[in-house]
Structure formats: structure tokens, C-alpha cells
Structure 1
Amino acid sequence: MNTILTLDHLLINRDSHAAKQLDMLKKALCADEVIPYLGPGLLWLGPAEPLVPHTPQAVAAELNARAPAPSKIRTNMWSVAQFIEQRRHRRTLQAWMAEIFAGPAAPTVFHAWLATLPVSLIVDSWYDGAMRAALAKTGRTDVVEVQGVTRAHAFGDIWTKTYDLSGAELRLGSMATTVLYSPHGSIKPAANFLVADSDYVEALTEIDIQTPIPQVVKERRTKRGFFFFGCRFDDQMLRTYARQVIKRSSGPHFAVIDSATLTKNERRFLAASAITVIDMPAAEAAARLVGASV
């Protein structure tokens, strides 16, 4: 059966239906009718094993190698980062995160293809900077990146910072053709990381009323849906941010995910958010979108 509706009202497209859906999404991406929402799973589309961690659990392991955390929090990136911030200071956490993500995350063929499209908005939910690098490689001058920044030591109502592709900080306007939105920060250009629990205290307090979401994101999502690629939602933090970023967008929404590996919480989130699952290996999906081997 190509398309199934599960008991939790989760729509899953498989086989020929999944292929047709991806063909439609390719047209929608080229026409700027859907917003790509990228996750760390895309790092595996490259020809070699990623040089940077590709899951929150992998980041937690890297941090644990530098400062062992209590066993009950050892696999939780946000809690381990908070432990380090409290015991070793924020500067140490910042330096270690920059060290962990220092290995270059080379853009994949999918990143390179997406960078050539005049899409209004791209959401990058990981710290690696591969999408930024792909955009910079095109030589485009009509792109800005808006990054979430920690408010742990901030003064004033500052939730984000904006940069051009050369790394210069800007005041955000609405004239850029493409806005790259990195809600959790990024290694480039300034090593901004929202990673400790303390980074999210105020953000999670305010996010339901959308205060931390940049105005340009709110404007550009209004008449579009989202396409999740390389993302998982097996942690409450990831689900919360995704839910708030797509809030008040028009839909429809889609996600390339192996449905057999979905957790109960992921299934509930996808169904509640009306996100249709495209059940296809990421490499196969990327090849179909790009129209070439990745």
C-alpha cells in the first residue's frame, strides 16, 4: 500500500506515492512555495562520515568526554551543557562547542542545489554551518542569516543576530531574497550556540507568543508550508521549536523520515502538526530532488 493513515492520524506516503510527492515538492521548492527546514541528518548525504556530531546525543558524548556529567543526564545535550556552564563557566562551554564543531561540514550536493534556488526562507536547525557554506560558495549577495543567540549574559531584548555571508553583522531588513534562519545558532561566523538549558529559559517562556521568532520569519512563512529534511523530533526541545517555527504558516507540511524508526512522541507530534511523512531513505530522496546522484 503506497499511502497509509495510521490510527494516530499520521499520513505516510511510501513507494510511488512518496516519489510523486517528492516530485511535487521539488517544483514547490523551485517556485518558492515551500520552506525547507533542515536537520543534522543531511550530513550523512556526503561521501564520507561527518566530521562533526549529527545528533544531540553525539554532542552530549563529546561534552562528556571533556567533563563527565552525572549518569542521569549524560545523554541529554542541553543538561550536560548546563552542567558544564555551572561547573566550568560559560566561556568553557562556548570554547568546547566551537572545538566540537570546528571540523568543516562540507555542503552536500543537496545543500549546493538548494543554495541556487531563490527561496524566501531556509531554516537550519543544527550548528554545522553547511547550508551557510553552500550559499556562500554560490557568490550570492542577496542572502542574510539570522541566528538565535543566548540571552544568558545579554542586556536588552536581543533574541537574534543577523549576518551577511562574509560574516559582517547587519541590521535585519526585509530586502534579502533568501533568509537563512538558524534558531539554535551556528558555528559560523561567530560561534553562537543555544545549547544549555539556561539558554532556553526565557526563549521557552516567550516562544508560545512568538517573541523569539524573527519578524521576517513570521512574514515569509504565512503563505507557505514546511519541508523537513534530515530532522528528527525525538526530544521535546526539538518538537517545541519546530512547532513554534511553523506556527501560523499555511501548510501543507512534509517530512522525509524512516517511519519504522519513529518514536511514539514523534508520531504524535507529526500527526498533531499535520506533517505528512515521506517514507524514503534520505539519500534516495535527495537524489530525486536534485536530479542526480548524491
Structure 2
Amino acid sequence: MDNVVEKLKSGELIPFIGLGVFEHTKAKDGSDLPYDSDSMILALNNGRAMSPRLMYEYSRAAMSLEQRKGREFIVQMTNHIYASKEYDLPFTYEYLKTIQPKYMIDTNVDDSGCKVYEDVPHFMITGVSRITADYDRFLIYKYDPKTKEYTRVEKEELDDSLPILFKPMGCMKPEMNFIISDADFVDWLTEAMGGYALPPFLKDYKKDKSYLFLGVDFSRDTFRMVAHETTLGLDTGLVVTPKEELTKKENKFVTTHNLEVLQQDCDTFLKAL
């Protein structure tokens, strides 16, 4: 893919951020932050591994913990992973902060994506699940850099007059809403397939866009489905991954969605730009 920087700046190319961008990020106390499914499970379970069946994917492990210890435990534990540590912004977010893309999808649940836009007004959309008020599985906020606060707004107010940060798996702020366990993903994806996981404006805005996938692991069904639903109508894209070989399912996803694969570490790729 040519002219990546220009396309990011123009909004033609949309960054899609996954957990892998944390791979080289350490907290100030020297500990690692989760950067893949296994390390997220260890973080959720106080550093202890779980059974092979539960270690398959962190959403499955989170569901087991939620069933044993309650919903509030898994919400607080997810927040604790990031809120209890001080850490520098991963390089991917640092780089994107210099560009402040018109639209960015960030599937991580911490506030690093918010810091990309912390000095400019912007909209933030966060995913929610298992609510009974209506079918919509999102909340929309508007950010004021003067007060450093997010204010909830109605979906009719969303437009592209400001940058848009979409966090489909939720965020630790301004409210703790996380799509983290199997039940969350099932609910969110079910409504996504019905058209209720994205605000009406985004459904049209995202059409015919290209995507830059950074730190995204497509080896598990869950995130392939999330990527499919949030980029429906895409034109093409680039997957940056350090993997030497993709699985059969990953290759099928890449081919079906007209994506190009670049075997490279995300930080190395961005620094070369």
C-alpha cells in the first residue's frame, strides 16, 4: 500500500488498533501490560494460568471468572489492569497522535486512544453490551479539551466535523463499559449483525474506506468477527503483523476482505514511515 501517511492524514486510511501494540510497553514498575490473549488472561487472573480450554481466548477465561466471582469483579479487574499502573503511551498511539486521524478504531479498553486526541475536541463512541433499554450497543461522547471532560450526546449529533474515536470493546472512561467476556461479545456481535453496534452516521461514513490493522490478532474467531462488523463495506487494507505464517482462518479472512499482509513489527513499520 502506497502513501500510507498521506492516506492516514486525509482519512482515506483508517487505523484499526489491537492488543499487540502493547508488546513493547512496560509499566513504570517494570511489569508487562497485556499484549495478547494469554497475557490478558494472566492479568485478569492475578498472574495465574487457567485450564487449556479457558486459555484458548481471553473472552472465555473472563466468562469463567465472571460466573465464579460476579460481573462487578470482572469489570473492576479489567479496569485495575490499566488504572493500577503508570505507563508511557505505546509507540503506535504516540505516532498516531502526530496525525490525529479523522477516524480511528481502537479495540483496546484503556484510555491510550483518548490520549491521541486529548488536546482537540472529538467524538468518542464506546461499545456496551447486555443492556435492556434499547438495541443500540454504543454510547457517544463529545470531548472538550478545555475541561478535559467527555459529555454524553445523542447519536443524531455525531458527524465528521470533529475526529471520531471508536472503541467498540468499551473503555475505562468516562464510564467503565467493557466488552470482555463471552457473554459480552455474543450480545454485542448479535446486535452488530442487526445493525445496532454502530451509530447511523458511521454506517455510511465507513464505506469504501481502507484500513491499517496494527497489533490485531485474527487467529481467533471473536476478533475476526469484530473486525468484519466494524469495517463492513471496506475497500481494502493492510495488516501489519510480525507473524511469519498465518493460519488457514487468518488467510481466508485476509483474502475475503481484500487485505494486504506485511510481515513486520508494528513499531518498526511506523518508525519507517
TM-score (norm 2): 0.86
Q: Which amino acid aligns with 2:109?
A: Y
Q: Paired residue for 1:59, among 40, 62, 72?
A: 40
Query: Deviation of residue 287 (structure 1)?
Result: 0.6
Structure 2 residue aligned with 1:280:
264
Displacement after TM superposition at 1:228 (Å): 0.8
Deviations 1:231-262 (A, max 9, x none): 1111100000101111113x121111135142
Give the corresponding residue for 1:223.
Answer: 208
Q: Report the CA distance between 1:68 and its aligned residue.
A: 7.3
Matched-pair identity in %: 21
Instruction: Compare 56-65 and 42-51 and name the one that shifted more.
Output: 42-51
In structure 1, what is the equivalent of residue 198 of structure 2?
213
Q: Indicate the residue corresponding to 1:140 in structure 2.
A: 120
**Is 1:88 matched up with 2:73?**
no
**Structure 2 vs 1, CA of residues 50 and 108 (structure 1 numbering), >3 Å: closer, same or farther?**
farther
C-alpha separation between the residues in 2 aligned to 1:202 and 1:193? Answer: 12
Moved over 4 A (4+): 45-51, 66-71
The 1:99/1:130 distance shift into structure 2, 3 A limit, reads same
Query: Match for residue 42 of structure 1?
Result: 21
1:100-145 Cα shifts (integer Å, max 9, x gaps) = 2222453245423423435331000111221211211xx102x111
In the alignment, the residues of structure 1 paired with residue 26 and residue 46 of structure 2 have an alpha-carbon distance, to the nearest angstrom, of 27
Asked whether 1:149 is paired with 2:134, we answer no
CA distance in 2, matches of 1:154, 1:51: 37
Q: Secondary structure in 1 aligned to 2:99?
A: coil
**Greater RCO structure (CA 8 Å; 6+ sep):** 1
1:155 and 1:144 map into 2 onto residues whose CA distance is 22
- Counterparts of 2:92 and 2:66, CA distance in 1: 36
8 Å Cα contact 2:18-2:216 kept in structure 1? yes
Task: Find the counterpart in structure 2 of residue 271 from structure 1.
Answer: 255
Does 2:10 match 1:31? yes
Offset of residue 39 of structure 1: 1.3
Please give the secondary structure, in 2, of the residue aligned with 1:150: coil
Superposition RMSD in Å: 2.4
What are structure 1's unaligned runs of at least 5 residues? Answer: 1-20, 290-294
SS of match in other structure, 2:117: helix
Q: Please tell me whether the aligned partners of residues 40 and 126 of structure 1 are also in contact (alpha carbons under 8 angstroms).
A: yes
Q: Is the 8 A contact 2:25 2:33 kept in 1?
A: no
What is the TM-score when the length of structure 1 is the normalising length?
0.80
- Counterpart of 1:40, as a letter, is L
Does the residue aligned with 1:260 lie in a helix, a strand or coil?
Answer: coil
Is 1:120 equivalent to 2:102 in the alignment? yes
Q: Bigger shift: 102-111 or 119-128?
A: 102-111
Q: Closer, same or farther in 2 for the Cα pair 1:124/1:34, shift >3 Å?
A: same
Taking a change above 3 Å as real, the CA distance of residues 129 and 118 of structure 1, as seen in their structure-2 partners, is: closer
Partner Cα distance (2:244, 2:174) in 1? 37
Q: Measure the CA separation in 1 of the matches of 2:187 and 2:252.
A: 26
